[in-house]
Structure formats: C-alpha cells, structure tokens
Structure 1
C-alpha cells in the first residue's frame, strides 16, 4: 500500500483539475439523441442496443437501454446519422438520414415489434425532430447556407442576419475577418450591445481586448454550421447577457474533399463614387484579393496507417491582400502665388475679400499686394519642386 502525504495529494488533484477543466469550462457543441424504447403495448424494453452511425465517417456510437427503456447517445458531431435499435426477439428498428445540428438535443422514442432480429422496421417520413430536453432556443445556419449565400468579405458571422431578433450595430464597411471589434457589435433579442458569447466548437471565442471582441473568425470553407442561441436559458450558457453564437468546424470524412478560391476586386469592376463623378475624378486604383484553399479527409499514411472510419483532418488556409488608395484634397500654391501674387487668395469658402487694400487671413488682416519674386533659398526651392500642381484653380474642394 502506498501512502501519499497531504501535500502530494493536493498537487495530484490540481494536475487532474487542470487536465479536466478545459472540457468542463466549454459549452457542448455536439448533439445528443435520447429517448425511450417500448414494445407495442407501451412497456419499456431494457437491454436494447441503440446505435447512431455517421453516414459520412462511419463512426458509431452505441448505448444500452436501462430498466426503464431509456437510452442516451451524447457527443455526436453535427451531421447525418442512421439510428438503429436491436434486441433478440424483436424486429430491428432503423431510421435513416437523421440530421443532427450543432448543440442539439433530440428526443426520439422507439416502438419495437415482436419478431425476428433479421426483420427490419424502417421509419420513413418521420415528423421533424423536436427538441424538448433543453430550454435554449435559436436558429441553426446550416452548411448549405454557409457555403452558398453571398458574403461581404466572406465573414461567416454576418449570416447571423438571417436569424430573427438580431441587430448588427457596427459599420457596414468593417465586416472583414480581421475586423474583430466591429463584427462583435451585435444586439440579440434587445440585449445590450457586445454582451454576447462567441463559441468555437464549444470553446470560448471572445477577446476581452477592446470590449468583448471576437477572438478568431474562421474562414467560410472551414465552417460546418453554427447556431445562434437567442433565448439562452439552458444552464450551460452562463457567461452572456445577450445571446450565444456557437460555431462548429468541419472535421473531415472518409472521402477527400477540397476547394480553392479567389475573390478579386479591381478598378475596372468597381463602380465610381458619387463625389468622384461630380468632380470628374478618375476611380481610385482599388485592389483586393481574398484567396485560399481547404482540404479534408481521412488521415492516411501509406503502408503505416489507415484512418478511415476513425481519424480525420481538415486544413484551411486563407490570405487577404488589399490596396486601398486614399484620395485627398490639399491646398497648394497656384502659378500666380508661386510668382508672389497673392491678390486672388481666398478663404475656406472660396470668397474673395474685397476690402480695399486689406485681406483677412485668420484673426488678422494683411495687405493685399503683389510681391516681386525673389530667388528662393535652396531648401525652399526643393520644397516647391515636390508640390503637386493645382488641378482646379480657384476651386474649393
């Protein structure tokens, strides 16, 4: 028998707490299927093997019903599943193409019929799965909408607009993936701005810098789906005074998939701005490239390891390059002023002071006169040489 001192015991407990704490602090993003298995008379059937098979990865989760016929299948990644229940003396019960979403808890009761286990009862045309085991309510943005709906700057969080009760309070020009502060300006169901929790696969994704920003915005092609919880009464959501946005990332399947993309903006494709039009100005030479690639599939090392049905990967790279000219208007000396003639000097509104002999500049008056041109000092001549020429003489812009 090994006796441990109290100090060593406390140290061991602290190490175990550190190992366990990350999962304890995070909110669950995976789905759960629970329910009760009964016979035709409504009596519970204990000992039934209930399994859920992911149709894309062939991963199988199993559970055995209790004496009350109750089963629970937790920690199911979002996706499409085939659910089955079997027990000797009863026909096998199956339901195919059952879609499970991020953070969903589904109650699915089964009624098994007496017969041979080789016989199968397949349930089709089932009514939509109802979530009655949890108090939170919200909307799931599925993978089809994530990948196919157009997105300004390809920021998946902006699809939260689709959910009722969502108000985005940030400027429309700052929706790029790295505008972490502006894209956190959400108000959900009338809650205060920036009082929401962002989760990435159940882990906290908030940054305290700048007032509750988003820490990381994943590329669109790496997102499986996400759920916007607008009524966060479930006990696991306790760090928000507004709503919760829980993003689930892709994890790969038994088949290799990949995408490559390039989203470009060029001067020739952009429309001209109003003020450039009225001033007969050319469009600025704006350039934007948002590009990358994504690949996922089973982990395979030829001759060493085959990860199909058990080990998967997903990798996504995205680059963003933007060159945005910033046209500006400056006041520069015109040809007359370079010659020393300031008789046409005007104020900020373009008005010429017609007071005889005087010109008001700021708080003081100076004589209105022409100065004979004197040779410039070398430093002054160098400064004048780099001044741009005035494009619109006498105009104020």
Structure 2
C-alpha cells in the first residue's frame, strides 16, 4: 500500500495541463471493440483505471500500439470471445468498474458479452439495472449468476426500439448507445445522460459511421448500421481534475494557471466555485486562479445558507462535491453540501474534523460546513484514502494544513490522477511518495 507524506503550508505557482478525461477514456476505449479497423485515440490519461482497461482489451485480442506519451492505436480485428470465460478475465474485470462498458460493443458486434460484477469506488450503491434493462429492450437475454457474481447478455439480432431510461446513468447510456448503433432499425433513448463525455462518445461513433442524432440532449435517435469503421479521436481535458486544481489553488493561496480547459464543456463548475468567493479568470481557453488571502461564500439572495448539490448534467457533477466540501472549510461563511447520488461519499469528513474543520454530518447525504476564514488552519494528521475523489480532497486539505500529513492507500488517488505528486511538486508542493 502506497503512502503520501505531505508538508503543508506551501504556496504553489505555475501552470498545470489537465490530463485527458478519465470518464470519457473508459467509454471511448471500449468503443474500439465495435470495429475491426484501426482506431487512434489521443490524450489518453496515464492512470491506473485506464491502464487496467487497456490491459483487459489486449487480453481480449485487441492490438494496442503506443504512438506517443498520450496517443494510442487500437485494432480489434481478432477478438478472442472465449477469453470472457477465463478466470483471468473474471479477476481483472472485477477490479475495474469501467469494464462493464465492454458489454454493449461485444453484444452489438458478436451477439454476446459476459462480465463479473465490477468493482470501483466504495461510495454507495451503484446499480447496473439501467444497462441490462436497456439491453433487454433491444432484444437481448440477460442472465445473472448470483453464486459466481457473473453477468451474461446474449442476442442473435438486436432490434431498435423506444426506451425511457429509469435513470440518466452515464455509463448505462454509453453502454446502450454502443449496443444500439448496430441494431436493426431505429432506437430512441429518452432520459439519456448528456454529459460532455457522452457527447464525445457519440461524435466518435458518428465518425466511425454510426447515425446518432440529438447529441447533447436527453433524447437520442439512433439508426442502426451494419458495420463501423476506424477513426481518430481526441479526449477532452478532465473537468474533475480542473475543478480539483481550482480548489487546490484556493485552499493553498496559490497562483495557478490551468491550460487548455475546453471551457464550454465545464458547465457549472466555474460558477459553483465562484459562489464560494473564488476568483477565476478566463484567458483564452486557460483558467487563471489568483492567490487569495480569503474567499467569502455568496449566500442566496434571500440570505439563506448556500446549498451546493449534485445533479445530472448540466447540473453540478457529484465527483467534485468532495472538493467543494474541503474548500468550504476555509471560506468565510457556511455551506450545506448535499450529495444526492451516493450515500457513502461524505463519510470521509471525519478525517477533516480530525484536522480541525467545523463540519456537521447531518445524514449520509448532507453535511453543513462552517467556514473558518483561515482563522484556524487545518492541522496535519495521518489518514487513509477511501476513494478517488475523497483521496484527492484529503490531499488538498493536507497541502493547506499546518505541519505534516500522511495519506495511506494512495492507489485510490492514482486510479484517477496522473502523476499528481510530480506535477504538484513541480509548482512548489512538498509531497513524498513512499511505496
């Protein structure tokens, strides 16, 4: 188990280039299974979850060539479907939640797909019903072996249909789209997730020859095609990493420029951080965060306490609520953080309370943060990272704290953030990695 030792109180200065988006990468990498032709994907992040998926694709028979530090070529012209029955696949697939998205492409192209119950963050219930209900609507047969924890879907011919998704699941929408692009006839998906990552997947598939209309809306219309071809695709910068860097700059009173952020795809992220009093300047397609001695929460116009809640796109992403919560601890004013989607994601606040933060955990979904306006700095402690987003939130807290902090289980952070210690140390941080 890896560990970070952090000497807090360092102010950073310089430029950060965001990595490619993790959540988009997991989708578009699975999409290479839809064609025997070569697909080139650029800006692939070098993080644990993505590398695990690339390794899994290679085991399936996908030819993978690294063209550069962030560029890859994939060709799925000799897929070994029987690998899905192997013990190796069961072990590897279970360790990565994103592996569930190989099902849609395999079902579309080969008529079947198997996967063990996938792992990932322990942040609450993350059901897969939306995926399999969508596959069944398209005519697939779904079987779940409760003893072996193994999911199977089979279909001789997928048939286009209308479906109303029970929830706007991002991975569920992605999986159903990839299954529907080669189904017979037309498919309409209502209440589809419409995050930029889904938009990117649809644009990539259309370049491959798919016929998808309504991209960017919650109603997608897909006309099935017989075959898909190769293409070249570039992944968006990771909006979660960008938001993490904004929070980091505010907490550590640092002057940071975040380069090439694809600002139109950030949605409400900048405005939510501004509601905490954080100054953000747009310079071209870069975000400049000036060093701020203090930042004050902007209450609602009737004077009531500011509430920040997650919601499906274009609402605020749940992946940044942990960052918001940490940043609020040193703001002037109070904030109610409402995590609606995952009931275990706020449980890391006990570590922040140990560091001296004033937080009331109201229930599994809500926490009230009483900002200390930097009058009482956080203090360094020893802690363990429970998941990706909480892990980087604790890292930010430790970097702003007085004294030394130790964070164990940093493999969770490495799952979503590329060489985070090296990149921040280059700007003046003091983070030591101990393996």
**TM-score bin, normalised by smaller chain:** under 0.3
TM-score normalised per structure 1: 0.25
TM-score normalised per structure 2: 0.24
Task: Choose between structure 1 and 2: higher strand proportion.
Answer: 1
Bigger relative CO (Cα 8 Å, ≥ 6 apart): 2
